A and B are shown apart, each in its own frame.
Chain A
Amino acid sequence: MIAFNARSTWTIYKREVMRALRTAMQSILGPVLTTVLYFVVFGAAIGSKMDSGMAGVNYGAFIVPGLLLLTLLSESTSNGSFGIYMPRFTGAIYELLSAPVGVAETLIGFVGAAATKSLILAAIILTTATFFVDYTVAHPFYALGFILLVSASFSLFGFILGIWADSFEKLGIVPVLFIVPLTFLGGTFYSIDLLPEPWRSVAMANPVVYLVNGLRWCFYGSSDFPIGLSLGMTLGFLALCISFIAWIFRTGWRLRA
């Protein structure tokens, strides 16, 4: 008996990536444009008027990791969720459920495609950012690894969301209601050291704070927390998502009647 169907996995992955390219205008151009607007307004315009930088870099450069993360989190979540929600919604999921594929093939196929899309986005955003702000990347390999980890984790989170949601409303509400506010409040535009107590302690309960700081460390070699803590939090979240999805496939929750 085959335990893993590599060809099926590749087929799912390829199709999901192609589906993304089919809607490239919406799925790539949109987020890139939004992020560029942030760079123009906060980095180039406002940032240039601010004298003191945070993390020892100018403000425009300081916000690059946070803005990148803002896009990565919301895009990974929505890509991950749409990929699996659409076939559930149209009924086309019958084919996947009747195919010789299990949780591993499905996850690597769908989540891998969503994460790939996020990586493409990240590359475009970082390239575009060089036109507006001067920034450096202190630890490029850590940065790549961290971006990969975050993209995969939140694509997985999106996948769970896409299985949980039973309406387009629910599908759209989670990124808007949770991801975006948590990212904004998670130190995208500021160092949480600037916050007075008790707000600093409250902010530390926000998991996104650790992600933003982790990526900031990769860029500038310093952040509000040690990198180990950021990595630990991200890996913990990844493990949590994977266990939950394994449970979904074992019980058939919202997939099999």
Chain B
Amino acid sequence: MELSPVSRITRSMEPILEISGLTKTYAGGFTALQGVDLTINKGEIFALLGPNGAGKTTLIGAVCGLVRPSSGTIRAFGEDMTHGWRALRARIGLVPQELATDMFETVLHSVNYSRGLFGLAPDAARIEEILRALSLWDKRKSQIRALSGGMKRRVLIAKALAHEPDLLFLDEPTAGVDVELRRDMWAQIAQLRDRGTTIILTTHYIEEAEEMADRVGIIQAGSIRMVEDTRSLMKRLGRTEAHIGLPVPLPAIPAALADYNLTLADDGLELVYRGGDGSGGGKAQVAQLTKDLVANGIDYTAIDIRESSLEDIFVDLLEGAAA
């Protein structure tokens, strides 16, 4: 994305969004959010991670005015949303999960409309910049219905950016977008953050959160289970797993290797190591283990090391919560 350079706003602990005790019970009686407390800091990319139906879209809707909260408070930019909604909403952008817009409009009309709707004077240069950045400039005169799915989603992003929001919600921005385009989109989102926009995105793809989020929040059944720095989360819960293939079966784990967290396969032909903290400690221990194997006269034919992803952590967490 070739947006004009704007000084990189460093992440601060200054809250831009403070949600407390947010509950939403839908008309049918279903409670989609139960007492959500969440604080988003200025300048960060926050990934809200959770399975289908966890309440991600409901949470976004409550902040953006699509869903009426049953109870709780939402403060944005330090002000209560119920009182200052008019001025506050002008600073918030939303890219919805569904591709919903007037498909018969042209891209340029649609994006200009969004800017005006949010109360800003027309600015052809700014709109051109946004459309170019999202590779939509050549398509500006096309009706939206004639565009591909990935382009339609970028049109919705352009519409949300048209009023230059300080806080941007992206509800599953890469759902249904193929792998290559997904990487493009990540780069575009990262550049938005570099321009100082605070970004809250929801996703199914853990890789997405791991790749680009500064912090991750895990939501399940309407409750936030955990909020943590992506890096420290990986460090705390990350695991290294090494599978070591043996040419001759071992009857048991040798006493000399008792300090390692090892298990031996039933046929005695594979040693499995689990440990580490996701920050490289596990790999170092595996390197040491290989030396100890050689020192103890144990030969090996293959070593397969893998780091568990946020995905595994997520599954573990949810299983733990269910148990």
Chain A residues in contact with chain B, CB under 8 A? 1-3, 5, 7-8, 10-12, 14-15, 18-19, 22, 86-87, 90-92, 94-102, 252, 256-257
B100 at interface by CB-CB < 8 Å:
yes
Q: List CB contacts (< 8 Å) of B63-90 with chain A.
A: 64-68, 84-87, 89-90
Do the beta carbons of B121 and A98 come within 8 Å of each other?
Answer: no
Q: Give the top 8 A-B pairs by smallest Cβ distance, nearest first.
A: A91-B100, A11-B116, A98-B64, A100-B90, A100-B89, A100-B86, A5-B119, A99-B117
Chain A residues near B84 (CB-CB < 8 A) = 1
Residue from the list A1, A15, A97, A256 in contact with B86, Cβ < 8 A: A1
Residue from the list A14, A18, A94 in contact with B66, Cβ < 8 A: A94
Do the beta carbons of A94 and B86 come within 8 Å of each other?
Answer: no
Q: Kindly count the residue-residue contacts between A and B in the assembled complex, taking CB atoms under 8 Å apart.
A: 83
Taking the closest CB of chain B, its distance from the CB of A12, in whole angstroms, is 7
Q: Please, which residue of chain A has its CB at the minimum distance from the CB of B88?
A: A100
Residue from the list B66, B96, B117 in contact with A256, Cβ < 8 A: B66
Determine the main DSSP class of B at the interface with A: loop
In whole angstroms, how far apart are the Cα atoms of A20 and B253 in the complex? 80
Once A1-B86, A91-B98 are accepted as A-B contacts, the answer to whether A98 and B65 lie under 8 Å apart by CB is: yes
Report B95-121 CB contacts with A as 1/0, cut-off 8 Å.
Answer: 010101111100001000110111111
Q: Please, which residue of chain A has its CB at the minimum distance from the CB of B67?
A: A257
In whole angstroms, how far apart are the Cα atoms of A91 and B67 in the complex? 14
Interface magnitude class on chain B? 20 to 34
Taking the closest CB of chain A, its distance from the CB of B96, in whole angstroms, is 5
Chain B residues near A100 (CB-CB < 8 A) = 85-87, 89-90, 118-119
Once A12-B117, A15-B113 are accepted as A-B contacts, the answer to whether A92 and B101 lie under 8 Å apart by CB is: yes
B92 at interface by CB-CB < 8 Å:
yes
Chain B residues near A99 (CB-CB < 8 A) = 89, 117-118
Chain B residues near A102 (CB-CB < 8 A) = 86
Can you identify 10 A-B contacts, CB atoms within 8 angstroms?
A1-B86, A2-B86, A3-B86, A8-B116, A12-B117, A87-B102, A90-B102, A94-B94, A100-B89, A257-B66
